Amino acid sequence: MKFADKYKANYFLPPEDRYDWVKRDRITAPPVWCSVDLRDGNQALVTPMELDEKVEFFKYLVKIGFKQIEVGFPAASETEYAFMRKLIDGGLIPDDVTVQVLTQCREHIISKTLKALDGVKHAIVHFYNSTSKPQREQVFKLSQEKIVDIAVDAAKMIVSAGGGFAYEYSPESFTGTEPEFAVEICNAVADVIKPTPSNKLIINLPVTVETSLPHVYACQVEYVKKHLKRADSIIISTHPHNDRGTGVADAELALLAGAERVEGTLFGNGERTGNVDIITLALNMYSHGVDPLLDLSDLNETIAVYQKLTGMKVPPRSPYAGSLVFTAFSGSHQDAIAKGTKYRAEHSDAKWDMPYLPIDPSDIGRNYDGDVIRINSQSGKGGIAYVLEQKYGFVIPKAMREDIGYKVKNVSDRKHKELKPDEVAEIFKKEYIDVNSPLSLTSFSFDKSEEEVLLSLRINNNGKDTIIIGNGNGQFNAAVSALKRAHGVDFTTVLYSEHALETGSKSNAAAYVGLKHGDSTVYAVGVDPDIMTASIKALVGAVNKLLKA
Ligand code: KIV
Ligand code: ZN
């Protein structure tokens, strides 16, 4: 790309040298959320929603806890108007939900908007005009005074119509507006509305287009808040878009800077790169121990509703919601998560501090089973052991994890694809359990004297039934001696462990045996309802591997 010398940084840093927001490191209370899915989100869709779809979306927003919902621009189209009427006439607006409508500062648009609200219980009339320098100079070709007149005239019109509504004013394209002028126009509007502490005016400071680093916006928000005349009667609202990909940061820093309300959309749908993503904001708060007061406990349902009604897709890396965001493929991450999970099982009262998982996926309805640890050629022994334990109950001893890790990873590498848990289990079975040739155990019996055990093994050796005998201080050692003697193999037992299989078939036990001969160590696993049979099966399997080697 050739650098074009035609850009400059287009933003206004307010003339203030001390900001309080920089001293704050967390958001301590949830803002008032206002969903603009049905207006800003909808107007940006390739195919805007139809009336029934808007109704369904509205009901879902209510279901998950939104108390303020911008439902549209009733004067903009018949569908928008009809939707507003349907909500009111159909009694679909719960008493504790306030609907919001958007209008430009133009007389006929304002009157149609107010008409659409006839009979509504609680509504916010949101009026806006563009205040930025480029809009004033290039689009409207109007002075600052004239731009103030537009907002003030609209405020007068709206107030004189009465109706008992709440009001919101947006100096649209706020971030491209000189901060002093933004203060001037907001104060002028407030002088008309005359808000009180019990009937506050919402001043919405939109990042209509993101042009600066997020902290510049935070400074702009704090500056306006500090210089508004009726601070105790005003709610500062933030409405970031995401042109630089920092909409979430804009909103969070605006909250630090004194905003108390956020306008945004589910999963960040909206004009161009979208509005700020309320799901991310809410779950960011949640991860800091602040209840966002939105119910996101079934995020899969939220995604499904959103995707069905908007036709948009939630990308796999979308924070919290993406299909891959709780998944660890990398070996070291898997290992840490597996250990963290174990630690948590032993410290269930501890606050969440899990490596690589900012929140507990199960809190938002995501499944650990097959979701968190997935296996590909980048995975490690810890992750593979985790899958075998969580899903199939095999507690793989540390000593043999590397061996299994290589076998599973090699398959994934060769096939060049992810392995599902069933495929991992299949490899495990083939490589460690089904090692039945040349020898396989048919049965065994033993005699126990005070000093030792005399064991007789019935072994199928390449289709031939044989009996071999061994002795030792226990059954397992007696089986070792029988196999060494009968098959001329020499080895040291470097691993022996067993446990009851908790998942799958409840009555089975699993035994793990590792045998070392020279430089090589081989491993096998036996599964049987009887623990000693499982152990001898594992031993025979490992001897088979030595014999083959
Ligand atoms: O992004 C924006 O500035 C808007 C206004 C209408 C608030 O959507
Ligand atoms: Zn917007």
Contact 172 CB / ligand 1 (< 6 Å): yes
**Beta-bridge partner residues of 275:** 241
Contact 206 CB / ligand 1 (< 6 Å): yes
Environment class of 83 (CB within 10 Å of its CB; exposed 0-12, middle 13-18, buried 19+):
buried
* 209 CA: nearest ligand 1 atom: 1
Share of the chain above pLDDT 90, in %: 92
Condensed to tens digits (0 to 9), the pLDDT of residues 334-361 reads 889 989 999 999 998 999 999 999 999 9
Lowest average pLDDT, out of 41-50, 151-160, 335-344, goes to 335-344
Contact 514 CB / ligand 1 (< 6 Å): no
Q: Which residue has the tokens 């905003």?
A: 259
Q: Rounded distance, CA 199 to CA 229, Å?
A: 15
* pLDDT of 161 strictly over 80: yes
DSSP-derived 3-state class of residue 329: coil
Contact 128 CB / ligand 1 (< 6 Å): yes
Backbone angles phi, psi at 359, to 5 degrees: -135, 165
Burial 235-272 (b: 16+ CB within 10 A, else e): bbbbbbbbbbebbbbbbbbbbbbbbbbbbbbbbbbbee
**Rounded average pLDDT over 53-59:** 98
Contact 40 CB / ligand 1 (< 6 Å): yes
* pLDDT of 139 strictly over 70: yes
Q: Which residue has the tokens 């006929």?
A: 108
The two structure tokens encoding residue 46: 């390739």
Lowest average pLDDT, out of 96-110, 179-193, 311-325, 363-377, goes to 363-377
Lowest average pLDDT, out of 50-54, 274-278, 312-316, 506-510, goes to 506-510
250 neighbors 240 (Cβ within 8 angstroms): yes
Q: Measuring CA to CA, which residue among 301, 298, 266, 270 is closest to residue 282?
A: 266
The two structure tokens encoding residue 383: 């992750």
* pLDDT of 503 strictly over 70: no
For the entire predicted model, the pTM comes to 0.88
470 neighbors 483 (Cβ within 8 angstroms): yes
Contact 126 CB / ligand 1 (< 6 Å): no
Specify the pLDDT at position 507.
84
H or E, element range at 542: helix 531-548
377 neighbors 412 (Cβ within 8 angstroms): yes
Specify the pLDDT at position 4.
79
* pLDDT of 448 strictly over 90: no
Share of the chain above pLDDT 70, in %: 99
Lowest average pLDDT, out of 296-310, 396-410, 481-495, 505-519, goes to 505-519
**Rounded average pLDDT over 283-296:** 98
Q: Which residue has the tokens 């207006």?
A: 39
Specify the pLDDT at position 380.
86
* pLDDT of 371 strictly over 80: no
Instruction: Read off the amino acid at residue 64.
Output: I
**Rounded average pLDDT over 156-175:** 97
Q: Measuring CA to CA, which residue among 146, 152, 145, 144 is closest to residue 127?
A: 152
Residue nearest to atom 3 of ligand 1 (CA): 208
Backbone angles phi, psi at 462, to 5 degrees: 55, 40
Q: How far does the centroid of ligand 1 lie from the alpha carbon of residue 53, in Å? A: 23
Contact 73 CB / ligand 1 (< 6 Å): no
Residue nearest to atom 5 of ligand 1 (CA): 172
H or E, element range at 217: helix 214-227
Q: Measuring CA to CA, which residue among 537, 485, 494, 484 is closest to residue 519?
A: 494
Residue nearest to atom 2 of ligand 1 (CA): 208
Give 3-state DSSP helix, strand, coil % of the chain, rounded to 5.
45, 20, 35
CA separation, residue 48 to residues 279, 282, 311, 549 (Å): 21, 26, 9, 67
Q: What sections of 320-380 are H helices per DSSP?
A: 331-346
Q: What is the band of 506 on the pLDDT scale with cuts at 50, 70, 90? A: low
237 neighbors 261 (Cβ within 8 angstroms): yes
The two structure tokens encoding residue 540: 């025979």
Q: Rounded distance, CA 401 to CA 423, Å?
A: 17
* pLDDT of 365 strictly over 60: yes
* 173 CA: nearest ligand 1 atom: 3
- Which distant-in-sequence residues (6+ apart) come within 8 Å of 256 by Cβ? 21, 24, 27, 218
Which one has a higher pLDDT value, 507 or 271?
Answer: 271
* pLDDT of 138 strictly over 90: yes
Q: How far does the centroid of ligand 1 lie from the alpha carbon of residue 315, in Å? A: 25
Q: How far does the centroid of ligand 2 lie from the alpha carbon of residue 100, in Å? A: 14
Q: Rounded distance, CA 177 to CA 101, Å?
A: 24
Contact 170 CB / ligand 1 (< 6 Å): yes
* pLDDT of 369 strictly over 70: no
